[in-house]
Amino acid sequence: MALLPILTAPDPRLKTKAKPVDRVDDEIRRLMDDMLETMYDAPGIGLAAPQVGVSQRVLVIDTGKTEADRKPIRMANPEIVWVSEVDSSYEEGCLSVPSHYADVVRPAQVKVRYLDHQGEIREIETDGLLATVVQHEMDHLDGVLFIDRISSLKRNMILRKLVKSKKEEAAV
């Protein structure tokens, strides 16, 4: 397995719609495993392929609190097939928007259909943190960041700070 570099905003690769996976083969399974290792190392609770520069509709999630609690979820070509009418708000973070957090409103419950790491069709209906994270990761597959779902004032402030820190890092 390998640790993959995580892209940070602003980066045009994070704004691009990813392509569906043709079939879940060994290459996709290796990508899923490398993404999980990268996510655990970061640390994070989700990661989408565009965040590691791969424009494919693949994501991984694990909301377990400890190593013993780990229950990795690997998804290819996820689709939301149902959303609740009730919304909920959660303070989101993102490994591609480091050190910034904001409240985002999304449907409280979702049903998602996807291909698992064996290429089998699966469905999960979920709420709480997992519902938030799966919607956040699916946004990445469409080139959408959580800062695109907050006010333009807050978004531009965060983007200015990210550009500044990238310039400072490049100067070291």
Among 38, 56, 77, 132, binds ligand K1U (CB under 6 A): 132
137 in catalytic set: yes
Q: Is the dihedral of CA 143, 147, 148, 154 positive or negative?
A: negative
Among 4, 18, 46, 102, binds ligand K1U (CB under 6 A): 46
Selected catalytic residue, list 85, 120, 137, 168: 137
Q: Of 133-152, which residues contact ligand K1U (CB under 6 A)?
A: 133, 136-137
Residue nearest to ligand K1U (CB): 44
Site string for Zn ion, 80-109 (x = CB under 5 A): --------------x---------------
Task: For residue 38, state whether it binds ligand K1U (rule: CB under 6 A).
Answer: no
Task: For residue 44, state whether it binds ligand K1U (rule: CB under 6 A).
Answer: yes
Nearer Cβ to ligand K1U (119/149): 149
Rounded-to-integer distance, Cα 49 and Cα 162, Å: 21
- Among ligand K1U, Zn ion, none, the one that 133 touches (CB under a kind-dependent 5 to 8 A) is ligand K1U
Please, how many CA atoms are within 13 Å of residue 45, restricted to the half-sphere of its CB? 15
Nearer Cβ to ligand K1U (119/165): 165
Q: Which residues are catalytic?
A: 137
Residues forming contacts to ligand K1U in the complex (CB under 6 A) are 43-47, 51, 90, 92-96, 132-133, 136-137
Residues forming contacts to Zn ion in the complex (CB under 5 A) are 94
